[in-house]
Amino acid sequence: MNYYIFTDLDGTLLNHDSYTLGRIKNFINKIKLKNHIIFSTSKTFCEILEINKKLNLNFPFIVENGACIFFPNNYTFFDPNKTKFFNYKNYLGYKLSELSPEVIENKLCKLQKKYDFILFSQLKLDQLSKITNLKNKSLINCTRRLFTNPIYWKDTEKKIKLFISDVKKISNSLQISKGGRFYHLSDRYNKGRALMKFLEIIKFSEKNNYKTISLGDSENDISMLEQTDYSCIVKREKVKISLNKNNNIYYSINKAPDGWKESIEFILKKENKNS
């Protein structure tokens, strides 16, 4: 049995604080030969390209919390409906979001009079570096957002529900989910819907020798974790998420990146025993 592995990055594959891969690179080199590793993350296109270089990967990936799916030009799947896809730097993109960072800023700027928050696009580089622990090229790459404008919440946790309610009043299509460092606003798309669209595009139902695995650590991963055959929740301090599904869920003992490897190894051993 082989797998499509859908994985979050920060706090799941990468250490939450240092973004390091630890000793996991050799493990990825081994499993990528038979499995497809699909990043599904809040990170940008440019950030993922850098990670792909480090890991020598060339799989499709889902950016900015499900806003768009990118396929390498040499990735084999059925001929796409060209009206739905666009070309971008040797990739084919399939956009799920109808918004842009500028539109999000226009919609939310009035609420800044009522709540204490800063939009990603409004943060200066030194502020962003302190929040994310990123520097140099990694910091610049995280600012190159094509579709989204995350929210850095400075107000009380009690007010977040009121804020979400006010956002819904702007448009009922808008949704907010919590990530590792930011809240993320979307227009009906999320990681789960992007995953399902990906499987539809590649005609996954015809691939009888594959199963799906997802790995995540935050609230904004839940929609993805609910959709796969196996769901892995990677340990993170002071963060607990729960799923509606009640089977084939694995909670890692270790934090990222070791918790990622631990989770995949558990599933592979379980499947080998059952085969």
Q: 85 forms bridges with which residues in the sheet? A: 94
Kindly report the number of other CB atoms within 10 A of residue 118's CB atom: 18
pLDDT at 84: 82
| Domain spans of the chain, in order of start | 2-96+190-274, 101-187
Q: What does pTM read for this prediction?
A: 0.95
Query: Of 16-20, 23-27, 255-259, which has the strongest mean pLDDT?
Result: 255-259
Long-range (24+ apart) CB contacts under 8 A made by 25-31 are: 25/54, 25/55, 27/261, 27/264, 28/55, 28/57, 29/55, 29/56, 31/5, 31/264
Q: Tell me: the pLDDT tens digits for 211-270?
A: 999 999 999 999 999 999 999 999 998 888 999 999 999 999 999 999 999 999 999 999
pLDDT at 80: 64
Overall average pLDDT of the 25-42 stretch? 96
pLDDT at 78: 65
Indicate the pLDDT class of residue 23, thresholds 50, 70 and 90. Answer: confident
Q: Tell me: the pLDDT tens digits for 156-197?
A: 999 999 999 999 999 999 999 999 999 999 998 999 999 999
* DSSP code at position 80: P
How far is the C-alpha of 241 from the C-alpha of 102, rounded, in Å? 31
pLDDT at 79: 63
Overall average pLDDT of the 116-134 stretch? 97
Indicate the pLDDT class of residue 83, thresholds 50, 70 and 90. Answer: confident
CATH number of the domain located at residue range(s) 2-96+190-274 in this protein: 3.40.50.1000
CATH number of the domain located at residue range(s) 101-187 in this protein: 3.30.980.20
pLDDT at 274: 80
Q: Tell me: the pLDDT tens digits for 36-50?
A: 999 999 999 999 999
pLDDT at 273: 82
pLDDT at 221: 97
Strand order in the sheet with 183-187: 117-119, 151-153, 183-187, 174-178
How far is the C-alpha of 20 from the C-alpha of 39, rounded, in Å? 16
Overall average pLDDT of the 19-32 stretch? 93
pLDDT at 238: 85
Helices (H), the chain: 25-31, 45-55, 101-108, 125-132, 136-143, 160-170, 191-201, 222-225, 258-274
Contact in structure between 208 and 2 (CB atoms under 8 Å):
no
| Per-chain mean pLDDT for the chain | 94
Q: Quick one: tokens of 165?
A: 């309610």
Kindly report the number of other CB atoms within 10 A of residue 204's CB atom: 15
